[in-house]
């Protein structure tokens, strides 16, 4: 993707302002997850990046509702934009950079509750000569229900439609193409939205992009938490659990084989525990497993195709 | 790696002769694993490759001794050597090819029994203008014991020393470098041997390489099965199992992030079930898990470094 011409950054403290939204989002989401879980508590692990910056991973494991929930915030900077960024943003080559982001992955214990992933990020090059935002959220149901998918996509569409009616269809399509396992011919879940290299042009481009991301972080609670509350007390059996672990095997395959953030982070000596907090707490693989035709498991697989949910 | 000049292939039916050794090895190993397991039975799944050839995966799941054991044999051919091969064998570009191989991954149920992987392969280009063998075997103990490592490496060294005393140190070093998780700074296990692009020069080069591989397939039983028999009745607890699943998480990371066969197979639309039979049946990830200093788990981690075992 070629870089659009970035408009000016309107504030001297733009980085601090974006990062403050990331840290505030982490606190708010961690509080919300703890409140729903009632039992589990987040542990914090802070790390420093040798080249500059660092972050704090906050992870809850073994909760009543969340088998694993991780919310990570990082702020990193350095003298030279990493090569993998320069590849698709050549004008950034050789310049100093600053990046901040929030990412979260939620693996609920109850197979009735979908897994959830979201991240938002901001990248600034050479004292503001170039900048972009990116982000997105997607849902991975173990047992798919159209009404859950409609709620999730509807919340994301409501957020994006406040900014530009063209965003949701474009970002939804981007997500459908990204969270896809080509070797299985399956989507990871029922999608959501995903965008990158977001640099609206014009004098107020930065302010508009910042508002989009700020509201996006806030929209996550409305998109996901109602689904947790809706299903967290649904009774489940060993068969449901076994299917959940198989689906998490697919999740592990996606993260390790295809996820750009995971592969980039590991290849650039990122903080392993913060990067791999996205992995499922338990996963399973079984030879030639095929659900019974007509079963809830087979119906879930049938939902894992791009579809108009909102 | 540049290609050595390949000597002539001495037989018109060389391909059939190599493939026969692969199929015979599969039968012998499957029989041996079933005999040890006493309870589990292998299922077979044959597949065809759209471009030419196919294979048969034989997989045992849920056995008394083996939670998952897979032994796969394939014979594939086509009009043009795949790009990923041409990259390190440029002279093969544009030529037809034939390849056959056997690969196996064993994930025992009992955490006292090490996991095991081995494969052997033969590649022939352009009606014998070029050819090479490759292969290897490595051991992944959940609870490492120096005497097991010494037995395993000793059996591989005995096999290789019959051919060339230089093979074992070279192939062991190759294995130590290959089965390594750079993001963890850990080896996958205690190594073994690994070689590729093996094309001994001279008129009897092919015959010598074939003998090496033929005996290598036969050497696997002596290398691994005594360790299964030694530990399969060792009592184990939930704590042992939990550690086993964490170690299998590392195994999954290696396979999906780094293993060339897995990544090549998935990227070239290989048979997913045959490729991913290498995945552990269950795996686990835990945030910042560190074994107690001095515990058997910590002592195992300390063994996962290149060391002179034989």
pLDDT for B6-16, tens place per residue? 888 988 899 99
What residues of chain B lie within 8 A of the CB of A43, using their CB? 287-288
Question: Sign of dihedral through CA atoms B206, B210, B211, B212?
Answer: positive
pLDDT in tens, B183-229: 999 999 999 999 999 999 999 999 999 999 999 999 999 999 999 99
CB contact residues (below 8 A), chain B span 153-182, against chain A: 182
**Range of A165-169, B125-129, B262-266 with top mean pLDDT:** A165-169
pLDDT band at B2 (very low <50, low <70, confident <90, very high): very low
- pLDDT, position A2: 47
A231 is catalytic: no
Q: How far is A75 from chain B (nearest CA, A)?
A: 20
Q: What is the ipTM of this complex?
A: 0.92
Q: Checking phi first, is residue B293 left (phi over 0); if not, alpha (psi -120 to 50) or beta?
A: beta
| Cβ–Cβ contact A263 with B under 8 A | yes
The CATH architecture that domain A14-303 belongs to is 3-Layer(aba) Sandwich (3.40)
Cα–Cα distance measured from residue A140 to residue A116, given in angstroms and rounded to the nearest whole number = 6
Cβ atoms A170, A220 nearer than 8 A: no
In the predicted structure, residue B256 carries a pLDDT above the cut 70: yes
Number of helices (H), then strands (E), in chain B: 9, 10
For the entire predicted model, the pTM comes to: 0.93
Which residues in chain A have their CB less than 8 angstroms from residue B185's CB? none
- Integer Cα distance of B63 and A219 in angstroms: 48
Chain A: residue whose CA lies nearest to B280 = A285
Element (H, E) at B99: strand B97-108
Does the beta carbon of A78 lie under 8 angstroms from any beta carbon of chain B? no
**Mean pLDDT over all residues of chain B?**
94
Q: Where do the domains of chain B lie? A: 14-303
**Between A50 and B148, whose confidence is greater?**
B148
Q: The tokens of B2 are what?
A: 């540049």
Banded pLDDT at B1 (limits 50, 70, 90): very low
Q: Does A57 touch chain B (CB under 8 A)?
A: yes
- Give per-10-residue mean pLDDT for chain A (310 aa): 71 94 98 97 93 93 98 93 84 92 97 98 91 97 97 98 98 97 94 96 95 98 98 98 98 94 81 93 96 96 92
Distance CA A130, CA A126 (A): 7
CB contact under 8 A, B43 and A287: yes
């Amino acid at each position: 993707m070629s870089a659009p011409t970035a408009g000016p950054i309107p504030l001297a403290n733009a980085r601090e302002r974006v990062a403050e939204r990331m840290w505030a989002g982490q606190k708010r989401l961690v509080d919300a997850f703890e409140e729903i879980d009632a039992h589990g508590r987040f542990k914090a692990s802070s790390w420093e990046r040798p080249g500059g910056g660092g972050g704090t991973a906050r992870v809850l494991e073994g909760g009543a509702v969340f088998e694993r929930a991780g919310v990570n915030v990082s702020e990193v900077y350095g003298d030279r934009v990493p090569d993998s960024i320069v590849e698709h943003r050549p004008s950034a080559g050789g310049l100093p950079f600053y990046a901040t982001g929030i990412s979260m992955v939620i693996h609920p214990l109850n197979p009735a509750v979908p897994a959830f992933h979201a991240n938002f990020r901001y990248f600034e090059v050479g004292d503001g000569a170039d900048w972009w935002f990116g982000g997105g959220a997607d849902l991975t149901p173990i047992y798919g229900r159209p009404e859950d998918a409609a709620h999730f996509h509807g919340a994301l569409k409501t957020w994006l439609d406040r900014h530009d009616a063209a965003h949701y269809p474009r970002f939804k399509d981007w997500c459908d193409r990204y969270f896809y396992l080509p070797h299985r011919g399956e989507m990871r879940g029922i999608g959501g939205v995903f965008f990158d290299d977001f640099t609206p042009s014009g004098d107020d481009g930065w302010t508009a992009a910042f508002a989009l991301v700020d509201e996006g972080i806030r929209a996550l609670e409305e998109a996901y938490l109602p689904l947790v509350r809706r299903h967290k007390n649904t009774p489940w059996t060993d068969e449901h659990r076994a299917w959940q672990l198989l689906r998490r095997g697919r999740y592990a395959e996606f993260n390790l084989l295809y996820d750009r953030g995971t592969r980039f982070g590991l290849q650039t000596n990122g903080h392993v525990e913060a990067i791999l907090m996205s992995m499922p707490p338990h996963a399973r693989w079984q030879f030639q497993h095929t659900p019974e035709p007509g079963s809830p498991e087979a119906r879930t697989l049938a939902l894992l195709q791009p579809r108009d949910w909102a």
